[in-house]
Structure 1
Amino acid sequence: MLKIANSPAEYSINKDLEDILSSLAKEKGDYIISFRSSEYSVEKGGYRPVEVMIRDSQVIYVTDFTYVGSGPYAELVKGMDWDFAAGECGQTGMYFDLEEAVELWGLYQSNFVDYFRAGKFDDVTVNLL
């Protein structure tokens, strides 16, 4: 059973998201799981890349990446970032306490699960640390 690392009591992991992550990180260990859509680009947008770190059966962070800038100057940066170990959440470079983003976390999890189930992430990698 996965838990959220060092988080306020209001934070939990959605059962559907837990099932997805547990099915990918089958053995006990520390992982970084990356979800990517080959269609995502600075020109067209699309489903943004997501990275999840699991350590000792705890979700340490969930980071959603986005392009900032345009053309050849665009960079892939952290869009949404829940850093549970640090106790903060960020949105495109602005950070605030986790308590301020509980509703956003619930919505984010639901959307991610829907996108995953719809096959929007066609490149999923699991790296054992």
Structure 2
Amino acid sequence: MSRRGGAPETTPSRRAAAHTKDRLMPHWEPYVPRGPRLRVYATSCCCEYELVSESGQYFVLRWTGDGEQQEETGRGVYARTAAIWRHLTSRHRCRKEQETATHLAHATHQKGDLT
């Protein structure tokens, strides 16, 4: 069934889920230090993400693809940042595990070629 204007109806739970998902998808921007001390509260298994605070503001840091610079999520209160942290780390695939699996697959392939 649709509302006026032809747009399909969404249930309140679907709207809430969509709002929560949008709220948890961080906008990344270059990390710019804004205080004398950066405190690290948690680090993902391969250090791709770090939950940090600086000058009373919480945010998540990640390294850029080239590993030269860091990017940060929007800064805010702990509760919101911790929710973003949980969202990111729950979907995170360990880079070290991926590299090991690729190395093992390559080594197995080479070993198979030698026999």
Instruction: Give TM-score, length-normalised by structure 2.
Output: 0.27
Q: Which has the higher strand share?
A: 1
Instruction: Give TM-score, length-normalised by structure 1.
Output: 0.25
For the pair shown, the structure with the greater C-alpha radius of gyration is: 2
